[in-house]
Amino acid sequence: MADQNVINSNEKTGGSFSWRKYTKLGLFLIILVALLVLIFTNVFIVKQGEYKVVRQFGEVVKIIKEPGLNYKIPFVQSVTTLPKYQMTYDVSQAEINTKDKKRMLIDNYAIWRIEDPKKMISNARSLDAAESRMEEFIYSVVRSELGQLDYDEIINDEKSSRGSLNDRVTAKVNELLAGGNYGIMVTDVRMKRTDLPAENEKSVFTRMISERESKAQEYLSMGDAQKNRIIAQTDRNVQEILAKASADAEMIRGEGEGEAAKVYNQSFSKDPEFYTMFRTLESYKKTIDGETVIVLPSNSPYARMLMGYTN
């Protein structure tokens, strides 16, 4: 009986030891897993194109800009992400008045990025707030710049004087953002659309049609005037050519007649009597027609010529 009691006592002692052993092992494993979970949940990766903002009790204590693996203090620190790349913001459509008192709707967009995350968080608090401030500045500057231009200069590319408007707007918006230490920078501001308020469209379209018709009539008038100038110039050229040709013809005719007279003189000087007869016949040819009756004495030179007398 005594031996049996010793055996039972040893079995109880060994079972209690095994239970304590497994309990300690389980507790160790639980603590190990908890530590691993704690470590891995507080390790974070900084990717290319992003900032990691580390806060401690709500205050920014560190901003990590370079890509890599980092660690935060558990339960004390928190991590948020801000974009490092350029972003596009669609500015709300707004109505402005032009220099010539026309109302128009403008629609812009902006390309921007965060330059200093700490300043942005300190003064703008969040991305939404930063975009809101940027939009206010863009609207203010665009309204001021377009308010110095006439409506036609804004919508008509041929007359437009807004070639550097986008650059001016971008520079002035950045000046305002820098003055407020918002830590953001606008890369570019672009006007993507301009529209008329609905109530103004009909009157503006009517005026545009009238202006185009007036311009067409102006071009037609200019064309007619140019045509008349060309016709008048052509007529003058023709008259000058004809006058010169007539003068040249008269000169040539005079030279020909002079040459003919010279030839006649040379020819007639060889036989004066023949020349006298020829002149006489020529004179009669011009003065006598088919009904003329001439009575000549028989001893007249002409009658003697007709009768064949030479002396």
Q: What is the pLDDT of residues 46-58, one digit of tens each?
A: 999 899 999 998 8
CATH number 3.30.479.30 is the correct assignment for the domain at 87-195: yes
pLDDT at 1 over 60: no
Confidence of residue 184 (pLDDT cuts 50, 70, 90): very high
Lowest mean pLDDT among 29-38, 185-194, 266-275: 266-275
Give the model's pLDDT for residue 6: 44
Q: Which of 16-20, 45-49, 106-110, 220-224 has the lowest mean pLDDT?
A: 16-20
Crossing angle (nearest 10°) for helices 198-269 and 272-287: 130
142: CB partners within 8 A, 6+ apart: 94, 96, 106, 108, 169, 189, 191
Query: Residue 290 — φ and ψ, nearest 5°?
Result: -70, -15
64 vs 77: CA distance, rounded Å:
14
Is the separation of the CB atoms in 110 and 91 below 8 Å?
yes
Is the pLDDT at 34 greater than 60, yes or no? Answer: yes
C-alpha span between 129 and 126 (Å, rounded): 5
User: Residue for token digits 């953002």?
Assistant: 177
- C-alpha atoms less than 13 angstroms from C-alpha of 114 in its C-beta half-sphere: 28
Distance CA 99, CA 149 (A): 5
pLDDT per residue over 238-254, tens digit each?
Answer: 999 998 998 889 899 88
pLDDT greater than 90 at residue 94: no
43-46 and 68-71 as β-strands: parallel, antiparallel, unpaired? antiparallel
- The predicted model gives 163-189 an average pLDDT of 90
CB proximity list for 61: less than 8 A, separation 6 or greater: 54, 55, 77
Q: What is the mean pLDDT of the chain?
A: 81
Residue 237 has pLDDT above 60, yes or no: yes
Domain locations in the chain? 1-41, 87-195, 212-270, 271-311
Q: How many residues does the chain have?
A: 311
Q: Residue 26 burial (CB < 10 Å; 0-12/13-18/19+)?
A: exposed
Residue 28 pLDDT more than 80?
no
